Amino acid sequence: MYWVATFVISWVIFLSLIDLRYIKYTIWGGILAAIFQLTVDEIAITLNLYSFSDPVFTVFKSSFFFTFGAPFCIGVLYAQTYPRKKNLQLANVFILTLLFFIMEYSLHNAGALEYIKWSYIYSLIVDVGALLAVGNLINLFSLSPWMRRKENER
């Protein structure tokens, strides 16, 4: 049930903040974030580092409701709000890492996520790395609206 709640909360936030004019570009940020999350979870669950309790419906050993909730929605919004300035890009990574940490801490304490050979510090490192990687891909493929506006002005 916690995974469904995470999904619903993520989509409420997503729908209240999304700018649909750029969704054909920013959706790729969500897809990339979901791919990173599925890859990390597939590896970690296979290696018995952590497990999900009652995932309801699974995709590659991960909860469908988690994958297409927080990571997907945050990935799209991350691309939509990706800042121009490098120092703000880095600040954005740490703010999103903090938000993911709060969510993970809550899910772990609620019993929806069980650590076997895992710790919070590992999650922080993986989250920072994944967000930096997604940020680089946002830059590479010009997925942020300000990057597209600049391209259209040429």
Nearest alpha carbon to residue 102 among 83, 127, 139: 127
Residue 92 in this model has a pLDDT that exceeds 50: yes
Over residues 45-88, the pLDDT tens digits come to: 999 999 999 999 999 999 999 999 999 999 999 999 999 999 99
128 near 64, Cβ under 8 Å?
no
User: What pLDDT does residue 150 have?
Assistant: 54
Give the span between the Cα atoms of 112 and 79, in whole angstroms.
28
Q: At what angle do helices 23-46 and 120-140 cross, to 10 degrees?
A: 150
Domain span including residue 92: 2-153
Banded pLDDT at 26 (limits 50, 70, 90): very high
Q: What's the number of domains the chain is made of? A: 1
What rounded mean pLDDT belongs to the chain? 94
| Residue 36 dihedral angles phi and psi, to the nearest 5° | -60, -45
Give the span between the Cα atoms of 13 and 33, in whole angstroms.
17
Residue 153 in this model has a pLDDT that exceeds 80: no
The alpha-helical segments, DSSP class H, found in 18-85 are 23-46, 64-67, 70-80
